[in-house]
Chains A and B, each alone.
Chain A
Amino acid sequence: DTEVTQTPKHLVMGMTNKKSLKCEQHMGHRAMYWYKQKAKKPPELMFVYSYEKLSINESVPSRFSPECPNSSLLNLHLHALQPEDSALYLCASSTVGVGTDTQYFGPGTRLTVL
């Protein structure tokens, strides 16, 4: 069983809706990641949090707003999304430190924007 959990598994939203994706890990990791994956493509990094601080933002549009309220939780707030934002959103976590930071992924949230 994965130790990174994501909710919800599926989400359908309209372009005017506000929704949030949640990710939780209980492995004691202090780095957490959001990826976006389109069909038949590899995951694309969106954000990285290290020690609850945003350390990497891959020029993601402001309609995606990440939040890391504590070391175990990672949220992705969604607002005014476009149909092209429909994708699988994956969360991952890892330790912080060279040589130990293998990323472990959650099951993902399949997002459909109508």
Chain B
Amino acid sequence: AQKVTQAQTEISVVEKEDVTLDCVYETRDTTYYLFWYKQPPSGELVFLIRRNSFDEQNEISGRYSWNFQKSTSSFNFTITASQVVDSAVYFCALRFAGGTSYGKLTFGQGTILTVHP
């Protein structure tokens, strides 16, 4: 069975602070994909990143960066110099790369991030 744990239910920061959202996953699959989605109050899930299990390179995109560590089964997300527009619910998700579970995402419970001006 697959499981994604986002231990931080809510995080509150002041603008310009750095913030890290934790994601820990469990899977017996050797090939899988990890995702981060952002859900602002409007409701739409916005795709942020996909990482393959065989690619442990960290990634940076502007103020966003992701740290993937297979040894600890973690895929953490850091926002540098946070802004009010970063306020949203962030979901980490896992998907098996094939077989009968094809297409099915396992989501974490989400982390509510509030950035205060």
Contact = CB atoms under 8 A, between A and B. Distances in A.
Interface of A: 2, 31, 33, 40-43, 45, 48, 50, 55-56, 88, 90, 92, 94, 98-99, 101-108, 110
24 contacts: A41-B109, A42-B110, A43-B45, A43-B91, A43-B107, A45-B105, A48-B103, A50-B103, A56-B104, A88-B43, A90-B43, A90-B44, A94-B103, A98-B102, A99-B52, A102-B35, A102-B50, A103-B103, A104-B47, A105-B37, A105-B46, A105-B47, A106-B44, A110-B43
A42 B107 contact: yes
Contacts of B42: 107
A90 B103 CA distance: 15
Nearest to B42: A107
B52 A105 contact: no
Contacts of A98: 97-98, 102
A92 to B, nearest CB: 8
